[in-house]
Structure 1
């Protein structure tokens, strides 16, 4: 087993913990501003979570391939992993659409959980690579076919966080395995400058001049043109993980690849940490400068957003690397490592469990009549919120309770050396 880079596990763990908190507030109507996404232009701490994940994917790609080799076996392995990640994300969007007749409540919940178990076993089963490839391709063709051919799934969202991670992983893995560092830098710059050119110069069909506004930009038009009815439910006509904005997201992944290559180099540990931090300062600064003409925007994944967030990722990683792997100031790292070694388990099942539990109806009095609410909502309203006078504190407490529950589960996995990889 390859030795793990503790600072990377801590960085990943911090990111997944922040994701768990921001994705699971007790009350979506009462959230502290740093735990919300920027309304449009701008960047909050919450907006750093996804680019940090893509940056980490780039580093992990390098560490998982200590000796560059690209042949049919390597390509098949990369494709299988990309398909698995994509399908897990796609199934999250399918979950709430699964139904049998008029079944509701607990019976339907159990059926959906049974499908979840089947998909998980099929994708993560320990069998030979050729069968894994055939299963992954079969499930991909089947699920995409269902989304476009069956009325029951005609509004299933196709894009998503894991889907973008899968696509970026596939592309940057091939780039890393087949090119040198100079070529990787050039490809990254082409992605960022090319996207800027497309978004700022190409007129939007049916709308008019190029723009960066919500719903009327070129990326929104392309999403709606190619995936009508299969986009983010909040907007319906564009997607924050859409098609065109995946181009600069590749740049985020390449930034991680470059950081991973630097960490794998033969330079001294002190020099590695110093240059990571220096590159981070440069990235943040360049991102803020580019923001003047191409606003920092997560939903559009603008090129300035790539530089700004990659800069912060480099700063955080550089500091962690120096503290943990250089001077060994690491007594505090264990909780973050526990989260960091099993990120996919937390991400996937954090999307499944709350949806499943909220299918369990709990009777509650409402205006003198009897109504019902989902189990998760009931637990928050009756067992957490009453202990706080400030709604935002109660909402944050709900998120922290959920985080602690996951921590207990992950401690069990960690002590038994259970690391689930896609």
Structure 2
């Protein structure tokens, strides 16, 4: 097996760092446009983070798969069937954590289902980012192991085209790619239940839903193809040129498909898979050129590298820690109506340190996000120094 390319680790670490940046603004109401998701169709830089991470999962799988194949089917199945449920359960634990919540002036147990602030029934969300990673890793690894390269490629085409057909045939004929017309919403409601779905769109709709997982699996498979090709070709300009060309072709194909099947992260359309995979391949080829060929390693590559070495752990911590800290709150001030306004550690830091730096509230929100990146980087930097790597 070829030596692992350092640029792949930097690529994964940069993706994790950007994921922390976009997931931890000081205020969700004050975001610069590139740091917000597209409202529906379209793609912003923020919409690239999750597919890039799945692409990186596929890259890593390409370097692990030969060892799993040598170990035999039983060892492979044990690894896949053990790792995937564990990642899924960690994501589910994150959704439920910290298991208690404030209800007016009292801390109460966060039940499986409970009445929300407006009286509607709400509950613990079942799916999420880590859950999707778990499902994609499981099915992609099974497809690659048993169907090999050619079979995995055919399966990917079937999934991309099949999902398109499902959207057209099962969705609302008036607009099958809209929030109200998308067929996957009904499936998620029937299986998960509305109270256990995401409600960020104002209604029950899960951007990591069951149906759109079909195409996200392909993102991992395509990442595997790129990692496999890098291993086979080795460090040479032919490999780099072919990667760059493949990225351009995928982007072009995604744009063409966008004319009839819009690029959309929230329902993870097939055109979105091709477009984001193309961009990931281009960016990775640029990283390989500068890091492997020009050897321009330095503080910047080291900064991202440590994120990549504990990627899942630091993503989990960046979601878990704010939830835990929010439990410990105090009265910040009394509003004009005489009501107590509570705060906790991180909101206080944003309101009293980051927000006052500029009249433009977007600057304060961005400063807070950058501070969070630096904070979590210090954690993974110390872990790397002590050779502590938490693997799942």
Map of 1:297 onto structure 2: 264
User: Aligned partners of 1:247, 1:335: CA distance in 2, in Å?
Assistant: 34
Q: What is the CA–CA distance in structure 1 between the aligned matches of 2:3 and 2:114, rounded to whole Å?
A: 49
> Residue 65 of structure 1: CA displacement?
2.1
Q: Determine which of 90, 95, 102 is the counterpart of 1:88.
A: 90
- TM-score normalised by length of structure 2: 0.90
Residue 277 of structure 1 pairs with residue 253 of structure 2:
no
Residue 187 of structure 1: aligned partner: 155
The counterpart of 2:197, out of the listed 231, 246, 250, is 231
Question: In the alignment, is the contact (CA less than 8 A) between 1:202 and 1:210 conserved in 2?
Answer: no
Cα deviation for residue 346 of structure 1 reads 1.3
3-state secondary structure, aligned to 2:39 = coil
Residue 52 of structure 1: aligned partner: 52
Distance 2:326 2:104 in 1: 18
Aligned partners of 2:89, 2:236: CA distance in 1, in Å?
Answer: 38
* Residue number in structure 2 paired with 1:37: 37
Report if aligned partners of 1:362, 1:375 keep a CA contact under 8 Å in 2: no
> Is the CA contact 1:13–1:339 (under 8 Å) kept in the aligned structure 2?
yes
Aligned length: 379
Query: Which residue, out of 317, 320, 334, partners 2:302?
Result: 334
Gaps of 5+ in 2: 116-120
2:118 counterpart residue number: none
User: Cα gap change, 1:291/1:359 in structure 2, threshold over 3 Å: closer, same or farther?
Assistant: same
Give the alignment of 1:300-315 within 5 angstroms: 300-315=267-282
For residues 237 and 100 of structure 2, the distance between their equivalents in structure 1, rounded to whole angstroms, comes to: 53
Q: Deviations over 1:11-58 (max 9, x none)?
A: 011111111111001111100000000000000000000000111111
In structure 2, the partner of 1:408 is: 378
Distance 1:306 1:196 in 2: 12
1:197 and 2:199 aligned: no
Q: Which runs of 5+ in 1 are unaligned?
A: 113-145
Aligned to 2:207: 240
**When the two structures are superposed, what TM-score results if normalisation uses the length of structure 1?**
0.84
Aligned position for 2:230: 263
What are the Cα deviations for residues 377-409 of structure 1, in whole angstroms up to 9, with x where unaligned?
Answer: 111111221122210001000001111111111
SS in 1 for 2:41: coil
Report the Cα offset of residue 102 of structure 1. Answer: 10
Query: Who is 2:12 aligned against?
Result: 12
2:62–2:228 Cα contact (<8 Å) kept? yes
Task: Give 1:4 deviation, angstroms.
Answer: 4.2
Identify the match of residue 360 of structure 1 among 324, 328, 331: 328
Structure 1 residues 266 and 280, CA, compared in 2 at 3 Å: closer, same or farther? closer
Indicate if the aligned counterparts of 1:210 and 1:218 stay in contact, CA closer than 8 A. Answer: no
Q: The residue matched to 2:286 in structure 1 has which SS?
A: helix
Deviation at 1:267, TM superposition (A): 4.6
Structure 2 counterpart SS, 1:65: helix
Give the 3 Å change call, closer, same or farther, for CA 98–362 of structure 1 in structure 2: closer
Distance in 1 between the 2:230 and 2:331 partners?
55
- Give the CA deviation at 1:99: 6.6
C-alpha separation between the residues in 1 aligned to 2:98 and 2:378?
Answer: 27
- Aligned equivalents of 1:192, 1:362: Cα separation in 2: 50
User: Alpha carbon RMSD of aligned pairs, Å?
Assistant: 2.4
